Chains A and B, each alone.
Chain A
Amino acid sequence: MRRYLRLLYVQARASATIAMQYRVDFLVQGAISVFWVFIAFVPLRVVFSSKAGSVAGWSYPEALVVLGWFTLLKSVLEGAINPSLQAVIDHIRKGTLDFVLLKPVDAQFLVSTARFEPWRLTDFLASLGIFIYAFTLLGRAPTPVQLAVGLLMLGLAGLVLYSLWILVVSAAFFVVRIDNLSHLLSSIYDAGRWPIGVFTGAIRILFTYVIPLALMTTYPAMALLGTLEPVTALGALVAALAFSGAARAVWLLSLARYTSASS
């Protein structure tokens, strides 16, 4: 365990060092992140200004809380998950995954922590701004219990997102040119900026059970707002653990079929 923590520290430091070399990029990417938060904000503003009151039972500040979680989780997705995803896919295609597999640590851990992009911190800061704005509009603050449940939900959301990512990487063992799967993942994740209640029928089932967007952004928001049922929270906990277990199993199964690039 301590060995893995030390390894994580080394990997994170290497990523930070790389990022420090490109300071202009840091500023540009930071500005772009803030710009995208603004782009995500405008449709929300227009939707709610075209109709006073609520959409699918969500008021404007409540929907803002969902947008806040969306932005926060997006910083995790683009700062910690996506960069490594690209790296593994490259490894698989070029056959250099061999070198990773030869090392005496768990391969999944090694590839998952290979690359971080620290400048996504701007997204994180932007999400804090959204939360503050939303709760100012609501005129109250979340209680410590609500905050704790919200953070637990965030942990689960991160776990599910990460598991989805492991599933995508596993697909790269079977199909060769798959770089844009991460693009697909991000485009689907984009739908998470809206409360799950606005979707109906098949799309809602898809986003609740198959690609659990509801768990990623809506449930944490409900936790923070104090409207999350304990049963739903418990269900989310079980589902997230089962999902990550399944993802781990699929990864091991796919790894067993890996035959390097040239053989």
Chain B
Amino acid sequence: MAELPRYRPLGVTIQPLPGVDFAAAGRARAAAFNEIARGLDMMSKYAYEKQQYQAAAEGQRYGAEKAPTQEQLEEAKKEGADIAEMLPGDDYTVFGRAARKTALDIIIDQSEMEARKSLTALRLEADQTDMPATELSAKINGLISGYSSNLYKLNPAAGSKFQAAMSTVGNTALLSHSQSLAKKAEKRQEVVALASMDSIINEGVAETIKAGTTFNQDTAEVVTINERLGFLREKIATEGYYVGDKALVKQGLAAFDKKVVQVKTGAVADFVLEDPIKNTDDLLQGKQLSNPHIQDILNNMNDEERREAVKLSIDLADKQRSRDAQIETANRRKRVDAVDDLLPEIADAKIRGATDRLYGLLGRLRELDGAKYESIASAIHTEGGIDDAEVVAGLNRLALNDQLSFEDINTAAKNRQISSSTHLRLLNDLDGQRNEDFKFAVDYAKDALGYPITNKLNFTPEEDIAAQTVAKLRNELRLAKRRNPELDSTEFMIKRVKEIQAEKTYTTEQISQAGVAVKGLAIKLKKLGYSVDRESDWQDIQSALTQAVSDQKFDPKEADGLKKSFTILGSQ
């Protein structure tokens, strides 16, 4: 049998679906969105941080503006209000926290400032009133508590912190005050000790030595000066050691010892000066002194003190003698000065014929200098003699040279070498010599008329003429002054000199020679550094010449030789 066809399957089969991860794709997309969201979050975070800073800054401003003052806090406290509510801001927001913190900081700062100010004032008051440390401590604590209690109500932590900080300041102030009190007490002790030492040294020593050796009323024992001084010395040491200053003790003891020596030797020296010769002898020879108290002091002196006392006594005696001699010299000098002052007055009285005044002055002269009185009275009472030409010329020359003296005139008068009229004239000259205005006028005449500035024994004929003219003008001036005491001497003299010069006539040649000489002089003076030249006026050249002679740059004799040239030019 033939085999029947049979269905053969094609092998069609269902294939497994490939795995597709849609979730991963979704996650990837979500990650992208998340990434964007994260970026945006960062932006938001940045913006938020900025907002936080802004809020904090605004909060700080707000807190600073709204912070209550100490007065407001005190007022609220008095009214029983809760001062914590006065703090601006809150504890939950950035703005609030910043505002509250700032306000609190300001209150703390203000409180600290106020507290410090109050502490300083308290410290000053304590210092000025020497307030006891315990009282100051109580006041400081009260002050700090007052301020910190306010702060504690506002913020307990800030209150505690403030109290701790201010307590340190308060303790420092208290410590400083305590130290100051201790120093003051120390100083007071030192002052008391110093005063006591000073009293012992400056009073106790002298009193003890002055009291001398005494008896103890209780024991009837003799207490010598040195024993009592020893007691005082110990007291100085005690005072010094009480202060605790070794240097002070050393210094006090040294001053004490010095004072003891000084008082002892001083007492002995005073005694010696009562009778220097006898007492010095007694002291040097070790004899019993006439004063028992001084002898007592001497008995209480050691060898060194005795030597010092003897030395001081001798020195003082020497000094006293020297001082006496100095006083005598001074008195003598005073007498001489008084006589010198009296002589012009005597001359004046003589000139004016004031007899009563003259005798009064002579009486005073006799008291001051008997010898001088004899000489002058003799000269005044001697009748006038006959003018001795040579003597009168010599006296005239002295008068012209401002060298005339009272003695010169007296000698000539006593020797009757001058007449009464010459005597009076010379006294007038002497008076004029003392008168500055008169002297200046005469000097002008001398200069203008060619009177030599150097002392010469022999004058040239021209100089003789000049001397005579000057003498003549002097007499004229003196007479004019007698007529009119208010007369201007210099003006008078200038006028008279010009008149005299005008009377003189010089030849053209003399004038020309004088001009050449003066111009030559100008060149010389210019070389010496004076500001004149050939073109300068003769008056300027004359002034420069006077200056050069004064400066010792120009020979005075040569200057005298040129005077005539100036006289000639001055007459033109």
Indicate whether A and B interact.
Answer: no
Chain B residues close to A by CB (< 8 Å): none
